[in-house]
Structure 1
Amino acid sequence: MGPRWRRKSSEKLRRGRLPAEGLAFVARDADGRVVGTVRLWDVMVEREISPRRGEIGNCRALLLGPLAVDPAMKSAGIGSALMRHAIAEAARRGHGAVLLVGDAPYYARFGFSAGKTGALAMPGPYEKHRILALELDAGALDGARGVLKAAGRKAEAARLARAA
């Protein structure tokens, strides 16, 4: 993830939140050691519902990341397997879209593109061309615009609920 990951826009959306329900995955080797992980997080952004009347609503989506693989296991297909599993499970759970900040050439193989992200922004520094999206339901991001906001369960609230 690199030494500056805490300052990244994606980390700002994840900080203090839990991953989306059922959407945190770990890959293990034959000895049970963790060799990869990926998580998806609930986010929302404004959606223009009726352009003529100026009506605005919320568009919910998932933010994918980080996707991390043990450097010793690179090129073993672990990252691809985690991506395919995460996308399939997000679709199975009824989510409409997945967003991420990443390299288009890598994520294009999973269907991600910048085609629906032109009106979206991250909260903090980021490179605009790296915001990518995959619609799991066609049109899920139609009218989406503005800065992404965290929308998931807060970590502290979950800890308190378990303690009760």
Structure 2
Amino acid sequence: MIGYRLSEESAEDRWEVEALYDTCFAPGREALSSYRLRDGVDRVAGLCLLARDGEGILAAAIRYWPVRVGGHAALLLGPVAVHPTRQGEGLGAWLVTESLERSHGLGWARVMLVGDAPYYARFGFRKLAGVVMPPPTNPERVLGTGDWAGIAGDVEKWDSAP
């Protein structure tokens, strides 16, 4: 995207990214079930991306976490956030597209998220039948892209035994 620089998130970026998420999401976001899947699990290096403007100001961020679904490896996309003053510029779509391409290059066969089907359908995401996020997640919002043939079951933390 013209005027923006894409980079991988580093340890030094953590608090700046957390501040962006606090700005973009409701208080209590860390109480969501998806956060229990992230607790104590390292993000996937190479897929957690930042978009900064020409002044170096953080405009958008995306993160990925490994999970298991029915014993199979998968990526959990999220959160993705665009600063309210930068929304509508295509930054979120840029981060999703770029990170999905990178995930294929790293050998990940499937990606899932909890989100709005109308928005994520343009990236190939569809409702995942038989994939169960921890409650109280709405099953209609559990979406996936990639090779989900024959994969069903509970979404579990990466450190769970396959």
TM-score tier by shorter-chain length is 0.7 to 0.9
- Larger Rg belongs to: 1
Mapped pair 1:16 → 2:40: yes
* C-alpha distance in structure 1 between counterparts of 2:53 and 2:45, whole Å: 24
Give the aligned length.
135
Q: Matched residue of 2:126: which SS?
A: coil
Note the residue ranges of structure 2 that are not aligned, 5 or more in a row: 1-24
SS at match of 2:152: strand
Partner Cα distance (2:31, 2:117) in 1: 21
Q: Amino acid of the residue matched to residue 155 of structure 2?
A: L
* 1:106 matched residue in structure 2: 119
Deviation at 1:143, TM superposition (A): 2.0
Distance in structure 2 (CA, Å) of the matches to 1:22 and 1:144: 25
**2:62 pairs with 1:38:** yes
1:87-102 superposed matches below 5 A: 87-102=100-115
Contact in 2 for aligned 1:59/1:141 (Cα 8 Å) = no
Return the offset for 1:82.
0.4
> Of the two structures, which has the highest relative contact order with CA contacts closer than 8 Å and spacing of 6 or more?
1
Task: Give the AA of the match of 1:133.
Answer: G
Q: TM-score, normalised by structure 1?
A: 0.79
Regions of 4+ moved over 6 Å: none
Between the aligned partners of 2:155 and 2:56, the Cα distance in structure 1 is: 36
Match of 1:74 among 74, 82, 87: 87
Per the TM alignment, residue 147 of structure 1 is displaced from its structure 2 partner at its CA by: 1.3
Counterpart secondary structure, 2:89: coil
Determine what percentage of the aligned residue pairs are the same residue. Answer: 37
Residue in structure 1 matched with residue 156 of structure 2 by the alignment: 149
| Structure 1, gaps ≥5 residues long | 47-57, 153-164
* In structure 2, distance between residues paired with 1:61 and 1:95: 7
SS at match of 1:38: strand
